[in-house]
Structure 1
Amino acid sequence: MKIAIIAYGFSGSTLPLAKHLRKRGHIVTCFYLVDPGTSSLEGIDFDCSYLRPGIHTVKSSFVNQYFVDDEILIYTVVLVRKRQNLGNTILNKIIGKIDHNTIYGLCDRIKKEKYDLINLVGHTHPMELIGKYLLDQKLFYSLHEVMKNHAEAKADANVAASFALKNGIPIIVHSLKSFNDISTFSRKLGNTSFLKLIRFGMFETFQEYRQMGYNPEISDNFLLFIGYILPYKGLSILYDACELLEKERILNFKIVVAGKGYDPILPKLKANKHFILKNKYITNQEFVDLISSCKSVVCPYLSASQSGIPQVASIFSKPVIASNVGAFPEVIRTGKNGILIESANKEELAAAINKIMCDNQYYDNLSPQLLGADESFLYDWNFICNQYEDFFNEIVN
């Protein structure tokens, strides 16, 4: 089949999917929506940045290295995006017009190239607008998030999920948590959308980066929190747990917190000698250096839908300590590839950190390379492609 993937982010999961589908004979083209000046995406670096609005062929030695002989075309779709602080100004109206023309041009191109299937990946604007322009095509959505805000107990469906459900467009989600959420929304609407649960596998592109190590001044005995920093990700609980360990005089390792963003706890982390704070954008190379050098990764989230962190940690055989929220229980099994704890429980988190970081026998008996532990086959790209092909046939036929 001839397949177009149009994604707003999520290159970590879509690039391996494209590669494995291509190996099965499908023709796959990827379009990634980006901001002006973008020179990289999750798990992929470009040879240059793309400033001008419009569609650009990606030039990347990294892409050539990953795909080798697989003929896959990758494009960036540069959108200027309206600025909230500009309000209803003439400049914002001009920006809106430019982006509208770019999106319309993309959809017109997709129609002219006559794809058998179009996969829209992403849950925020303008993914619903792209779907609107392509309603007369064979399309389906892949949604990593289905709620507007997973931190709210009674959150509404996000714009892409709402649009797909209201228009009966088939939807793939990637965790049981998201499947249950989208099924609930579907029932409320009395909807007949075709819903499918298909996991995503390891983010293979990160394997292409050379493991350079993190910092010679820090041993590999450090705990790592990595990713965009937001209050719901539980850094305050991590801080409290480490204070408990410090009181018991068993905190003999560093905790590296790396990522852009803000949490009110950051000043305390910066002042604490046990924490190393890298509060900035983390490049793909830095991401690999940190994960490949740490002893374990920690995700003490207060709420979640799912996360790609375990998909990268497993590549480098690093166990994950995670809260029992979202999709973490589906990929992390205590005693197998990490430890699950109750959310917001500093005592449980402290005990789990101590177990992973200080009990070498326990650590050595883990199999952190196995996502889902005994159900690791669910995260194998060959099995995943089988599910996609069954899904394709159901849509087309």
Structure 2
Amino acid sequence: MRHIAIITKAFEGSTMPLIEAFLKKGYVVDYYQMTLRYTQGVYESFDLPIKTRLYTTKEIIDFHHPGLQRFNQFAMKGTFRMFQFSNFIIVDSWKRMPLNIASKCFLKKVARIIATHEYDWVNVVGNDMNSAIISVLLKKNHVNVLHSIHEVCRNHLTRSQMHPVCSYLLQNDIMLNLFSKKSEDDLLHLLKDERPVYSVIPFSLFTGYQEFPVSEISELKGEDDYVLFYGYIVDYKGLDILYEASRLLKLGELRKKIVVAGFGKADCLDVISRDENFILINRFLNNHEITNLIRRCHVVVCPYRSSSQTGITQTVFNFRKPIVATRVPAFTSTIENRKTGLLVDIEDAEQLADAIHKSYEGQLYSEMCDNISRLLTRSAQDWIDISRQYEIRYIH
């Protein structure tokens, strides 16, 4: 029986279904979740309301939490174990030198413990220096380790400089997995003639979100069938383009609202807050709120200027909702135009407005929802197929 370990710093949404797929195939899996000392127990696709003390490791024995419930059966059989360890963020600053030293010492201890288990394979997932250091330390301990990284570029809008974590991993000859063709293109663009050892294995739906129950969100005040923009608000996600599109839409005639939900800043937030066609929820969203915002919406809109990959599609499709998005690689690779969503040109407010209006056409909308339902039915097998790609390439 093969025994593997998966270690993450964030990105739990795409990790937990992969673990589940390996468990279904008869693997024994140990999952190590790296957290920060101020984490509030809300993670991508699951809740775990416990706190692990700084520089300690805790075994999780209670899986009766949304997003983790399906792992209880495997834990009962002894094929799944989960550990959480807490650390500080390692940053390149002389002011943080004492904390960096303490954090690196703790990571060395964790790596030694993991190495003693003699796993057949270890997959580290993360875009931070903590997870990168773990990978390098495991390799020094002769562990068969793969590091999965989400962002190759420091800034995916410019593609001018490699992300320092990616550079560090390559300098230490760590095998890489990328999650998208866009990331592969970025890597080869930056390396030019160099050819590192890497693979491109994508992810499927973040199925943990399906475990969250129906609940109310006070700011909605009973509103439903709205257009939803959600997630961390930053300039490249094009909220200003959505606002411009809203001026072209006859929302009053449609009797529909646009809900903007998530923490962050944008120049247009002030004017959006005063527009009666919008509902603004400008704060951190927990998993219950994310799932119920999607459940009650008509369509999700993503007017992004750039993106290498995204968890939006893999989250929203769990609830059979189409997406209106721009033609950036994250969406052209995950959305079929007029089948599972509507694709528009980047920074084209007129096309965006037209697509949102089209989404309210009954037959087209129904067909898109039916197609997404078929994707949802297939997602468990998709994850099995994805696990097989890792198996063939890395597990000997």
* TM-score, length-scaled by structure 1: 0.89
1:146 aligns with 2:148: no
1:234 aligns with 2:238: yes
Which runs of 5 or more residues in structure 2 are unaligned?
Answer: none
Alignment CA distance shift 1:328-1:389 (3 Å): same
Per-residue deviation at 1:51?
4.1
- Is the 8 Å Cα contact of residues 128 and 159 (structure 1) preserved in structure 2? no
Alignment CA distance shift 1:274-1:379 (3 Å): farther
Question: In the alignment, which of 168, 175, 178 is matched to residue 173 of structure 1?
Answer: 178
Q: Corresponding residue for 1:386?
A: 388
Q: Corresponding residue for 1:137?
A: 143
Q: Corresponding residue for 1:68?
A: 72
Which runs of 5 or more residues in structure 1 are unaligned?
Answer: none
Per-residue deviation at 1:60?
4.1
The correspondence of residues 336-347 of structure 1 with structure 2, limited to 5 A, is: 336-347=339-350
CA distance in 2, matches of 1:291, 1:80: 33
Q: Corresponding residue for 2:12?
A: 11
Moved more, 320-329 or 32-41: 32-41
- Other structure's SS at 1:370 match: helix
1:156 aligns with 2:161: yes
Per-residue deviation at 1:282?
0.5
* Cα-to-partner distance string for 1:110-136 (whole Å, 9 max, x where unaligned): 111211211111122223222221223
Q: Corresponding residue for 1:79?
A: 87
Alignment CA distance shift 1:377-1:23 (3 Å): closer
Residue identity in the other structure for 2:299: S
- Identity across aligned pairs (percent)? 30
Alignment CA distance shift 1:324-1:64 (3 Å): closer
Alignment CA distance shift 1:259-1:131 (3 Å): same
- Is the 8 Å Cα contact of residues 37 and 50 (structure 1) preserved in structure 2? no
CA distance in 2, matches of 1:230, 1:192: 32
Per-residue deviation at 1:363?
0.9
1:28 aligns with 2:34: no
Per-residue deviation at 1:383?
1.5
Q: Corresponding residue for 2:288?
A: 285
- Is the 8 Å Cα contact of residues 234 and 300 (structure 1) preserved in structure 2? yes
Per-residue deviation at 1:377?
7.5
CA distance in 1, matches of 2:165, 2:97: 23
- Is the 8 Å Cα contact of residues 320 and 373 (structure 2) preserved in structure 1? no
CA distance in 2, matches of 1:140, 1:64: 24
Q: Corresponding residue for 1:48?
A: 50
Alignment CA distance shift 1:364-1:224 (3 Å): same
Q: Corresponding residue for 2:277?
A: 274
CA distance in 1, matches of 2:125, 2:349: 36
Per-residue deviation at 1:343?
1.0
- Is the 8 Å Cα contact of residues 90 and 130 (structure 2) preserved in structure 1? no
- Is the 8 Å Cα contact of residues 160 and 190 (structure 2) preserved in structure 1? no
Per-residue deviation at 1:102?
2.0
Residue identity in the other structure for 1:41: Y
Alignment CA distance shift 1:378-1:236 (3 Å): farther
Moved more, 73-82 or 211-220: 211-220
Per-residue deviation at 1:174?
1.5
CA distance in 2, matches of 1:156, 1:383: 33
* TM-score, length-scaled by structure 2: 0.89
- Other structure's SS at 1:343 match: coil
Moved more, 22-31 or 343-352: 22-31
Q: Corresponding residue for 2:308?
A: 305
* Cα-to-partner distance string for 1:19-67 (whole Å, 9 max, x where unaligned): 1101112121112221113212111111323343322223442265221
CA distance in 2, matches of 1:143, 1:217: 40
Per-residue deviation at 1:372?
11
The correspondence of residues 189-208 of structure 1 with structure 2, limited to 5 A, is: 190-193=194-197, 195-208=198-211
* Cα-to-partner distance string for 1:81-125 (whole Å, 9 max, x where unaligned): 3689xx644xx3332233122211211111112112111111222
Per-residue deviation at 1:204?
0.8
Per-residue deviation at 1:269?
1.2
The correspondence of residues 224-373 of structure 1 with structure 2, limited to 5 A, is: 224-246=228-250, 250=253, 252-356=255-359, 358-367=360-369, 370=372
- Is the 8 Å Cα contact of residues 311 and 371 (structure 1) preserved in structure 2? no
Alignment CA distance shift 1:263-1:336 (3 Å): same
Alignment CA distance shift 1:214-1:295 (3 Å): farther
Per-residue deviation at 1:167?
3.6
Moved more, 363-372 or 6-15: 363-372
- Is the 8 Å Cα contact of residues 341 and 349 (structure 1) preserved in structure 2? yes
Question: In the alignment, which of 93, 99, 111 is matched to residue 95 of structure 1?
Answer: 99
Per-residue deviation at 1:362?
1.7
- Is the 8 Å Cα contact of residues 230 and 262 (structure 1) preserved in structure 2? yes
RMSD: 2.5
1:2 aligns with 2:6: no
- Is the 8 Å Cα contact of residues 261 and 279 (structure 1) preserved in structure 2? yes
Residue identity in the other structure for 1:118: V
